[in-house]
Structure 1
């Protein structure tokens, strides 16, 4: 794919959850041509637009193009996947109407192995992965509370970042997002797991927000030990993550106050979790190269057990109605 990235791209965002609305609002505010595919809440999104509140600013995007199908949107220059990896099977129907020969597909999904399903549908040379260091929740259709705007790193799937990857990073920076293009996407994914594996996982198992987790001596120590296992597993694949990065995760998390990680929210609200991408796949890859990750593996199985218990309770409640 040698075509250059257009200066004024036509952009499709798949998903109107917290990330889709947050990044969509920033792009709309920057004057970009944005088209959002939403599964629900379309009437409210069309009528009210997007509203984002961060610790330092408020963003309102009133005129937003909302659609119920990708066929209504049509071909775009950039497609942003803002749905969870648990919904990737739907990409086989959703993505094709949005693609033209030089379309770039950017996935914002968490975990390992998330680019592969996108590449199967769109072709590997189109795919860019994004790692979003952000704390935000959707409180209503189109309404997002962002406690930690953070930053984004992006990289091309299976290759060093090229001209188009750098152009997409520049697009985000114009929209007010701190974004850099990196040559090693897999390394960046392991970086994100340093936070995601312990904090999302322990929040589910213990049923607590991040401030409670940090205040509990045992949970805080366990989080650190799990982070160290992630770092050691990454090193087995040649991805060196400095120990100072572990300390940085605690410093950043302390600033997020009583934050409910996205996986905890999904768990409590009965939704599917990215359990394989965030916990299962890292454990399998670590064990495949001989990395000892007993705490990661235990956490993975505990989360699976908690999900099984939750689902059984939900089914029991549904039978009583």
Structure 2
């Protein structure tokens, strides 16, 4: 294996489809270690087999493949890139990544869904640069180690907190690293608006798909479900605007439905796929956090509150957390 161009070391935590794609692109100029769980044996033996509409077919053989971050403690990383699901109600991410973080050196990059994911990490690692990234990508792991990426991709990235000086240089370097791998990435001043905007779709379509067990096209074909999606979108927009984001509700909703019809037809969102598999869903960061922020500002969001109750119950049930004592 050729030596990395810049002798950079990166660790991908949660190497499923998204982590694989961006680890693959980073590996063009860095030594990339991947934390793999269910796909560990296959990836260690064969690497990842990738089919990408943007970059063609290829094989990604990580510099190293490990089962958990404890195995990474012997090394020092320039980047720890988190692409695992955001499940603060189940796992403490700061404790998961702690063995791989070198104080003052390692840049932590969160490529995750949802709202309010950054502050716990900022609190846990105050001397480390922190970058928050929103990904727009369609990719899936069809079987262990086999990745299919549909269409294009792009990343939006911001320092956290906004304008954080210690993260400024890290942001520039990460931008160049990703661009060297052909990734479309743009730095923006504040990621919160983008996270709210993505939630307009995720907290509505994803949640309604879970509640109804319908894909996007089936939801669009059922008028009561369409009405519910619109009401949830309106709730999310009111909550976001109470924090000064200034979304135009009519425009945003129309755009979300247009995009769903054009690029996300017959689509089962990741939250619904998690439900199908009986895996934990990102209910708290996608629905719960915007609900709590709305309530904090005194904003009425009845539809968001209702869909949270439903999806939270489904999540708890599938995790075996709802138990009723037998009565004699």
TM-score band, normalised by shorter chain:
0.7 to 0.9
Please report the TM-score for the alignment, with normalisation by the length of structure 2.
Answer: 0.85
Tell me: CA distance 1:266–1:11, structure 2 relative to 1, closer, same or farther (3 Å). Answer: same
- What 5-or-longer segments of structure 1 have no aligned partner? 1-5, 317-321
Counterparts of 1:175 and 1:256 in 2: how far apart (Å)? Answer: 26
Q: Could you tell me which residue of structure 1 aligns to residue 19 of structure 2?
A: 20
The reply to whether residue 251 of structure 1 matches residue 249 of structure 2 is no
Tell me: CA distance 1:121–1:298, structure 2 relative to 1, closer, same or farther (3 Å). Answer: same
Q: State the 1:229 CA deviation.
A: 1.7
Q: State the 1:261 CA deviation.
A: 0.8
When structure 1 is superposed on structure 2, of 306-315 and 132-141 the one drifting more is 306-315
The reply to whether residue 286 of structure 1 matches residue 294 of structure 2 is yes
When structure 1 is superposed on structure 2, of 94-103 and 187-196 the one drifting more is 94-103
Q: State the 1:284 CA deviation.
A: 0.9
Equivalent of 1:233 in 225, 236, 239: 239
Flag as ranges the 4+ runs of structure 1 deviating above 6 A.
Answer: 313-316
The reply to whether residue 218 of structure 1 matches residue 218 of structure 2 is no
- 1:174-219 CA-to-partner distances (Å, cap 9, x unmatched) read 3222211111122121111111101210110010112222233332
Counterparts of 2:127 and 2:279 in 1: how far apart (Å)? Answer: 29
Counterparts of 1:292 and 1:124 in 2: how far apart (Å)? Answer: 38
Counterparts of 1:245 and 1:98 in 2: how far apart (Å)? Answer: 39
Q: State the 1:256 CA deviation.
A: 2.5
The reply to whether residue 180 of structure 1 matches residue 186 of structure 2 is yes
Q: Could you tell me which residue of structure 1 aligns to residue 68 of structure 2?
A: 69
Match of 1:85, SS? coil
CA RMSD of aligned residues (A): 2.5
Q: Could you tell me which residue of structure 2 aligns to residue 304 of structure 1?
A: 312
Tell me: CA distance 1:218–1:148, structure 2 relative to 1, closer, same or farther (3 Å). Answer: farther
Q: State the 1:266 CA deviation.
A: 0.8
The reply to whether residue 34 of structure 1 matches residue 32 of structure 2 is yes
Q: Could you tell me which residue of structure 2 aligns to residue 319 of structure 1?
A: none
Q: State the 1:222 CA deviation.
A: 2.3
When structure 1 is superposed on structure 2, of 118-127 and 189-198 the one drifting more is 118-127
Q: State the 1:14 CA deviation.
A: 0.6
- What 5-or-longer segments of structure 2 have no aligned partner? none
Tell me: CA distance 1:31–1:205, structure 2 relative to 1, closer, same or farther (3 Å). Answer: same
Tell me: CA distance 1:62–1:21, structure 2 relative to 1, closer, same or farther (3 Å). Answer: closer
Counterparts of 1:88 and 1:311 in 2: how far apart (Å)? Answer: 14
Tell me: CA distance 1:308–1:163, structure 2 relative to 1, closer, same or farther (3 Å). Answer: closer
Please report the TM-score for the alignment, with normalisation by the length of structure 1.
Answer: 0.87
Match of 2:109, SS? strand
When structure 1 is superposed on structure 2, of 290-299 and 125-134 the one drifting more is 125-134
Q: Per residue, is there more helix in 1 or in 2?
A: 1
